[in-house]
Structure 1
Amino acid sequence: MRALFWLLSIFALAAGLAIVARYNDAYALFVWPPWRLHISLNLLAILSVGLFALLYMATRLVARALALPGAVAAFRAQQRKQRSIQALRDAQRFLVEGRYGRAHAQADAAYRANESPGLAALIAARASHAMREHVRCEEWLRRAAEHDREVRVARLMTEAEFAVADRRFDVAAERLDALRQGGHRHIAALRLSVQTAAARGMWGDVLRLARQLASHRAFTAEQAAPLVRRAHLESLRELEGNPEGMVRYWRQIPKPERNDRGLVRDAALLLNASGQGELAAEAIGDALDDNWDSALAELYGRIEGGTLIERIGQAERWLRAQPRDERLLLTLGRLCLQQQLWGKAQSYLEASLSVAPSRAAHLELARLAEQLDRNELALKHFRSAAELTG
């Protein structure tokens, strides 16, 4: 609609000018002695407009000609810029694809073109490290350090990752400390920190970091549990020879963590070996009250400590809820043997065998038979145990 309006306006103007020119008898006189020039005013107007248009086009043409070298240089610079940007993108893509040789070549090209040189140097360093070219990797890391204002955090993270991968955990700890001092405590750094702390045997830090990662949902419960379990067990091992310290440490563990089956099992063995069998039995009992586990029930019978009568009573209460658990029956037989309740021990051990034959139950019955001087029966159970072993 707008185009039609302008077209009509131009035609109207042309028609108006034609009418005005038709009734215009004026002329212009140019005198340059001895010459005189008479010219119609209409023609003078047309010539003036034409001359102006001609001069304008000539001026533009000259300006464009003079600007051509600069335009060519700018075009070439833009092309080089585009190529360097593409080289950096290709380097990132090749690195993710695992094509490390090509990633290094493209990163080198981007670095030489001064396109994000810090980032290009880090990409080249990662590619070199993946190809086990450690000297070249160190050189690229040195170049990246020259652009620390651009990539300091990325460089420190990269160096920490390389140090963990190469098992240089002291170097990794140094880089991660530098990140922490700069206020960078993101999840990737925390994950590297927990690996480094575990490798250096800093179990208090492992426990703190694992809990922190779990609270931030960076670790699932299944991922955090082995780290928390190992941290507690290693801390308990460090306290071997200090039974009171082991007791204090165990009691300050949060209850949800004390319910871990693997932690209870291994911690009970450590506590029992340190003369804290009563606490070990208590730990197993608490775990079994919360969630039944046949393996822990069997371990309960191998713990030395506590009042045997009370422990037998506790196991019999469990038996009412788990009447056909062969491991619990085995535990009751062992506890009764320790209490020298020969008849009850034999009943529980035979009940365990009736549910599921086991080498352990046959061995306990053999020992019971020896206590009662029933050597033939003892030999029979020893043979049965040997057959099950085979």
Structure 2
Amino acid sequence: LPPRGLGLRAQALAALGRAGDAYGLLGALRQQQALPEDRINTLEAQWAEASLREARDANQLADRWEALPRPLKSEPAAVAAYAERAAALRWEEAAAHSIEHALDTHWDESLAGLYGRLPIGRLDARREHAERWLQAHPASPALLLTLARLNRAQGHGSQSETYLHRALAQGANADAWEELGHGFAQAGDDPRARLSYANALRASRGEPTSELPGRDLKQKIFDEAVTEERDEHGMPRLRE
């Protein structure tokens, strides 16, 4: 195929749900300079993510992940695709470990949030990891929301609520309000569940939310207080 035809064929394969085949043509695309290099780099990331999501079984998923260049294995979109597909295939250890490794290497809010949403077990291990990360990232809304979800899944409703109030104070929004609603509903507190769900809807629309009753000033101050962030060596982090 001429260079232009090769580029069109690869893009057509990806559009037809054959991103793995499209990804396999990247070497030829680069060799023939069929597309500008920056465009090829963009497509490489897109096709890598799509090929992971299209993996038909755990063996194919593992093969495609191992074939990725090291920089792509650190990209949050690729890590999320691998973890979500692994979870769907009931490969729970791989799903959890991929995010754990990524977050230990480079912090990312989207992956911190996904860690709590993965439809897998390993609740104790995931909660322990999240609690350790919280020492370095005490103001992470996504991590606080993840800890709330994991605690509620283990029946620790009070601890879950505490994390959610902190998450909201640190900038979490609709998802945290919805999780609060789930917790209150589970506890039989229908009035606060309704208010939380209404706030989730308001937050998703960018509208002001209503304050929950029963939070005193001391609790609000605790929610907003953030301990000093430290890195894996125990050194204070500079604020970005």
TM-score by length of 2: 0.71
Q: What's 2:181 paired with? A: 366
* Equivalent residue for 1:286, pick from 69, 89, 101: 101
Equivalence for 1:196:
9
- CA distance in 2: counterparts of 1:343 and 1:272, whole angstroms: 28
Question: Which letter does structure 2 place at the counterpart of 1:198?
Answer: Q
Structure 2 counterpart of 1:354, from 169, 175, 178: 169
Give runs of aligned pairs for residues 40-119 of structure 1, distance below 5 A. none
Other structure's SS at 1:200 match:
helix
Supply the AA of the counterpart residue of 2:77: G
In terms of fraction of residues, the more helix-rich structure is 1
**Which amino acid is 1:193 matched to?**
L
Aligned-residue offset at 1:303 = 0.4
Q: Secondary structure at the match of 1:331?
A: helix
Q: For 2:140, which of 325, 333, 338 is the aligned residue? A: 325
What residue in structure 1 maps to residue 231 of structure 2? none
Aligned ranges for residues 120-159 of structure 1 at < 5 Å? none
For the pair 1:265 / 2:84, whether they are aligned, the reply is no
Superposition deviation, residue 312 in structure 1: 0.9
Using CA pairs under 8 Å that are at least 6 residues apart, name the structure with larger relative contact order, 1 or 2: 2
Residue 190 of structure 2 corresponds to residue 378 of structure 1: no
What is the aligned length? 201
Alignment of 1:26-37 (within 5 A): none
| Amino acid paired to 1:199 | A
1:229 aligned partner: 45
* Map of 2:69 onto structure 1: 254
Residue 170 of structure 1 corresponds to which residue in structure 2? none
Q: Tell me the distance in 1 between the aligned counterparts of 2:102 and 2:40.
A: 19
Larger Cα Rg: Structure 1 or Structure 2?
A: 1
Distance in 2, Cα, partners of 1:282 & 1:318: 14
The 5-angstrom pairing of residues 5-44 of structure 1 reads none
Residue of structure 2 equivalent to 1:316? 131
Give structure 2 stretches of 5+ with no counterpart. 206-240
Q: Supply the distance in 2 between the matched residues of 1:336 and 1:236 (Cα, whole angstroms).
A: 30
The CA deviation string for residues 340-389 of structure 1, in whole angstroms up to 9 with x for no partner, is 22222111111101112511111111111122222222122122222223
1:245 to 1:349, Cα distance in 2 relative to 1, 3 A: same
Q: Is the 8 A contact 1:284 1:296 kept in 2?
A: yes
- CA distance in 2 between partners of 1:211 and 1:290 (Å): 28
Give distance in 1, aligned partners of 2:28 and 2:151: 46
For 2:150, the equivalent position in structure 1 comes to: 335
Separation of aligned partners in 1, 2:7 and 2:101: 30
Matched residue of 1:356: which SS?
coil
Q: Which amino acid aligns with 1:293?
A: D
TM-score by length of 1: 0.46
In structure 1, the partner of 2:229 is none
Distance 2:32 2:136 in 1: 39
Unaligned runs of 5+ in 1: 1-172, 177-188
